Amino acid sequence: MIYNKFDCDVSHQQLRKDFIGSSDAPVIMKTSPWTTPRQLWQQKLGFLPQKNMNDAMYRGKILENEAREKISEILNTKFSPARLFSEKYHFMMANLDGLSECKKMSLEIKCPNAKDHEQAANGKIPNKYYAQLQHQLIVSEHDTMYYLSYSEESMHLILCEADEEYQKNLIAEEKKFYKMLTEFIEPELCENDFEKRTDEEFLQALMKYKQHYCLYNEVKKEFEEAKEELLKLVSSNCVADGTKIKKIIRKGVINFSKMPDELKKLAEEYRSEPSEYWKISLENETENSLDVAW
């Protein structure tokens, strides 16, 4: 591991964009209840703003120092916040709530809701945090670390062991996600990426769209049949009744997948800025869905 105590000149926000951090791991493994892989991808590329600190996050920040001091006293070893960079996986970093003075033990502090705190009381790390701890263990190259669930009334300390099988899957998924970032490949949407709409104005507009979509498909089918019938009678450029029909020859498209890597990198320098558009897919009609430009 490469270690520093937040003395890096690069901002935390910039590091979050350039690296896969431990808080990204549950998102990538689809165990985060707050963020989806698509949203994380958009945040890192600047299409979505970073989430603002809510009351629960603010409470956690306030209690974190208190929790760290208490556990340092109990374990008789001083823990300090630290930032680690993996030497083995160049895209991985971890911000630790605590790293011991000997650099051999790390600590993750959570000030969670009552349900998660109760799980910790029963010796169980909530699933939503498991990937985060395993990511930290990979970066730190430690075999174990502490998970501390802390509240104003009580605290529960659990020793988390490195899970080799889980870590293999985590590394593979993070590699895929990092490739998506560097090659601008959007992660697939999941259910939590869709907002459930029930407002009347939207439902009325949707009903109108569906009605016209059915009419459009009928007309489109008839149009394509008429076009095919007409072109069967054409063998050369021709004109009739104010209508010209001509053959167009255009260059073939460039197959980027067959390009050497050096040329791909060079071509990327000339790529224009990304654009956005909306795609409307009706149930059972994905094959014929309309792409609506934004």
pLDDT for the residue 8: 54
Task: Give the pLDDT band (50/70/90) at residue 1.
Answer: low
Q: Quick check: 292 pLDDT over 50?
A: no
Q: Domains in the chain, start-ordered, CATH in brackets?
A: 2-183 (3.90.320.10), 202-248 (no CATH)
pLDDT for the residue 113: 93
pLDDT for the residue 101: 92
pLDDT for the residue 90: 94
Q: Quick check: 67 pLDDT over 80?
A: yes
Q: Quick check: 2 pLDDT over 70?
A: no
- Encoding tokens for residue 290? 């309309």
Average pLDDT, the chain: 89
Q: Quick check: 46 pLDDT over 60?
A: yes
Burial class (CB in 10 A: 0-12, 13-18, 19+), 86: buried
Q: Quick check: 24 pLDDT over 60?
A: yes
pLDDT for the residue 10: 60
- Taking residue 282's Cβ as centre, other Cβ atoms within 10 Å add up to 15
pLDDT for the residue 7: 53
Q: Following CA atoms 156, 161, 163, 164 in sequence, which dihedral angle do they give, to the nearest 10 degrees?
A: 170
The pair phi, psi for residue 89, each rounded to 5°, is: -120, 105
Q: Quick check: 59 pLDDT over 50?
A: yes
Q: Is 227 helix (H, G, I), strand (E, B) or coil?
A: helix
Within 5-149, where are the H helices? 12-18, 25-28, 37-44, 55-75, 114-121, 127-140
- What's the per-residue H, E or C state across 152-200? CCCEEEEEEECCHHHHHHHHHHHHHHHHHHHHCCCCCCCHHHCCCCCCH
> Is there a contact between 166 and 137 (Cβ–Cβ < 8 Å)?
no
Nearest to 125 by CA among 159, 74, 172: 159
Q: Quick check: 180 pLDDT over 60?
A: yes
Nearest to 280 by CA among 261, 266, 267, 294: 294
- Encoding tokens for residue 57? 């996050």
- Encoding tokens for residue 282? 């009706």
Radius of gyration of the chain (CA): 27
Q: Quick check: 195 pLDDT over 70?
A: yes
How much is the average pLDDT of 20-29? 97
CA–chain centroid gap for 5, Å, is 27
pLDDT for the residue 287: 44
Task: Give the pLDDT band (50/70/90) at residue 3.
Answer: low
pLDDT for the residue 11: 67
How much is the average pLDDT of 168-174? 98
pLDDT for the residue 293: 42
pLDDT for the residue 76: 94
**Separation of alpha carbons 212 and 292, rounded Å:** 14
Q: Quick check: 212 pLDDT over 90?
A: yes
Q: Quick check: 75 pLDDT over 70?
A: yes
241-285 pLDDT, tens digit per residue, is 999 999 999 988 888 888 898 888 888 888 888 777 788 888 766
**Separation of alpha carbons 290 and 294, rounded Å:** 12
How much is the average pLDDT of 36-56? 86
Q: Which of 46-55, 161-170, 214-223 has the highest mean pLDDT?
A: 161-170
Q: Which residue has the higher pLDDT, 206 or 58?
A: 206
